[in-house]
Structure 1
Amino acid sequence: MPRMLDVSDAVRAEIGDEEADRLLAGENAPGSYDCTSCRTPGDSEQERTSTVLFIGDETAVLAFAHASCLPSQVVQVTEEQLRGAVRSISGDSVGGGAFAGEPQRAVPEQAVLGVTSGLVLITGELHPALVVEPTAPIVRPGTTGVGDDFLPLLIEQGFMPLVELTAVPPVLHGWSVLLAVGQLHAVLQPGPNGGQPVAWWQAHQPLQVTDGWRAAANKHQQVLMFAAPVGSIGRQPREDLLRDALDRAAALGRLVAATLPLAGT
């Protein structure tokens, strides 16, 4: 039976027309599946389903997601991350879908990128913001010494150092924030060699945002992203305390930021 599958041009280019046509005809596509984004059941015979191709250094895995959760796309990941995805998809591990591009590939295994959403007041207007802070220092790929290269790596990607929050940071083209069905799914960065965007950070499960945050994101069609090294911001229970922590980090030269276009609604 034909499946209600979405196969993007990028996925088709990777798997070939013959395989894509077999998927659409229902020959190689499962009827039921666990969504690679929200991890809840889906049925490609009953609802629109996206094909998501995860490509590692040597292998690739084709997964499926509710079209309302993720668009059909190609996601570049490391081989280690891909093995973790296979374990997650096959049910050998809990959760799944935490894939990232540079600079998160430099994160030691114990480091996790913490992401907090909140509204930030700049020049009298509220803007939706994401604050990213790792749980451990991040070193540059290929190095073995101690230190924290999180901010230099982001600056090389185009993020701007801040000393105070008095203006909206410049737009970083090629990067975006993926919001689907009112939930936060991923921060995307440009793909290698100008290819399809890849996930720099992706939630294990879609993150809930407040109605006010979502309304501001839809109004501005962009999200401010702030990043700081471990220990700079912390988990703040209120938005006013989060803003105070951002101001302190900026004054200490421990904050970078960019404005990212909004992908999704």
Structure 2
Amino acid sequence: MPRMLDVGDDVRAEIGDEEADRLLAGENAPGSYDCTSCRTPGDSEQERTSTVLFIGNETAVLAFAHATCLPSQIVQVSEEQLQGAVRSITGDDGTGPAGGAPDQAVLGVTSGLVLIDGELHPALVVEPTGAIVRPGAAAGGGDDFLPLLIEQGYMPVTSLDTVPDVLHGWSVLLAMGQLHAVLQPGADGGSVAWWQAHHPLQVTDAWRAAANKLQMVLVFAAPVGSIGRQPREDLLRGALDNAAAHGRLVGAAMPLAGT
């Protein structure tokens, strides 16, 4: 029986017309599935369903999502992240440290709710474990983390009284109910991971509910030593306020991809 599948042009180009046509005809597509985004049941015979292709270095995984949760798309991920997604699908979620920055420094990512103008906003706070130098620059020449981000479109944050501007082309990928990546525009017009979790990271129900409500996530970034791992959201807010007051914070609002 034909399925109500959306197969995007980029997904079709990757898997080939023959495989795409088999999916649409219902030969290879499941009738019922668990949405790769919200993790609730779906039925491709009864409701529009998106094909989402996760591509790693060596393998690819074709997943299905409610069209209302995710559009059909290709998501480039590391092989390790892809294997983590597979483990998540099979029920072995696990958590792990943040992915690597371009110069291999590790980016730590903390999620929390931030109160701005009377409304709780879902936020991610990114802080490297060491100084980030400009590609090609000699080590020990200072920390270029904030200037590099400003060149990408992030804006300096001097206070948390207002929501940062939207950084177009970037998004936060929440798939299978967990945090997978912060995506940036790729050179070929698609999306690539700027930061990615080695294993899908848990977020609280309240964080996910706020993200679903606003369809937007605030991403703040600060140099090493500015924020630290704060055990409570009030302490995280205090650290953010302090970093902003000392000119050590940039931020952007990004659309939510997934739920």
Normalized against structure 1, the TM-score is what? Answer: 0.70
CA contact (8 A) 1:85 1:96 kept: no
Write out aligned runs for 1:193-208 (5 A). Answer: 193=188, 195-203=189-197, 204-208=199-203
Q: 2:187 maps to what in 1?
A: 192
**Secondary structure of residue in 2 paired with 1:208:** coil
1:103-140 Cα distance to aligned partner (Å, 9 max, x none): x54232xx322211111122232222111112222222
Amino acid at match of 2:194: W
Whether 1:125 and 2:119 are equivalent positions in the alignment is yes
User: Out of 130, 134, 138, which is 2:132 matched to?
Assistant: 138
Give the Cα separation in 2 of the matches to 1:24 and 1:107. Answer: 42
Identity score, percent: 69
Q: 1:218 maps to what in 2?
A: 212
Whether 1:63 and 2:61 are equivalent positions in the alignment is yes
Amino acid at match of 1:190: P
Q: 2:53 maps to what in 1?
A: 52
CA contact (8 A) 1:139 1:150 kept: yes
Give the Cα separation in 2 of the matches to 1:97 and 1:240. Answer: 24
The CA deviation at 1:5 is 8.4
1:135-171 Cα distance to aligned partner (Å, 9 max, x none): 2222223334233222122111110011222211111
Moved more, 196-205 or 129-138: 196-205
**Secondary structure of residue in 2 paired with 1:217:** helix
**Secondary structure of residue in 2 paired with 1:236:** coil
Q: 1:13 maps to what in 2?
A: 13
Q: 2:75 maps to what in 1?
A: 75
Structure 1 portions without partners, runs of 5+: 30-35, 38-47
Give the Cα separation in 2 of the matches to 1:254 and 1:161. Answer: 8
Change (3 A) 1:139 1:52: farther
Give the Cα separation in 2 of the matches to 1:85 and 1:169. Answer: 29
Q: 1:256 maps to what in 2?
A: 250
1:5-25 Cα distance to aligned partner (Å, 9 max, x none): 875321222343235446778
Amino acid at match of 1:54: I
Give the Cα separation in 1 of the matches to 2:86 and 2:203. Answer: 26
Give the Cα separation in 2 of the matches to 1:166 and 1:51. Answer: 37
The CA deviation at 1:257 is 0.2
**Secondary structure of residue in 2 paired with 1:106:** coil
Give the Cα separation in 1 of the matches to 2:159 and 2:137. Answer: 31
Change (3 A) 1:241 1:72: same
Change (3 A) 1:89 1:28: farther
Give the Cα separation in 1 of the matches to 2:94 and 2:106. Answer: 14
Give the Cα separation in 1 of the matches to 2:133 and 2:26. Answer: 45
CA contact (8 A) 2:230 2:236 kept: yes
Structure 2 portions without partners, runs of 5+: 30-35, 38-48
CA RMSD of aligned residues (A): 4.3
Q: 1:167 maps to what in 2?
A: 162
**Secondary structure of residue in 2 paired with 1:188:** strand
Count of aligned pairs: 245
CA contact (8 A) 2:117 2:161 kept: yes
1:64-87 Cα distance to aligned partner (Å, 9 max, x none): 44647986533346xxx55x5688
CA contact (8 A) 2:51 2:62 kept: yes
Whether 1:246 and 2:240 are equivalent positions in the alignment is yes
Amino acid at match of 1:187: V
The CA deviation at 1:245 is 0.4
1:208-263 Cα distance to aligned partner (Å, 9 max, x none): 2232x223223322111101111110111111110110011112211100111222
Give the Cα separation in 2 of the matches to 1:96 and 1:18. Answer: 36
1:10-42 Cα distance to aligned partner (Å, 9 max, x none): 12223432354467789999xxxxxx99xxxxx
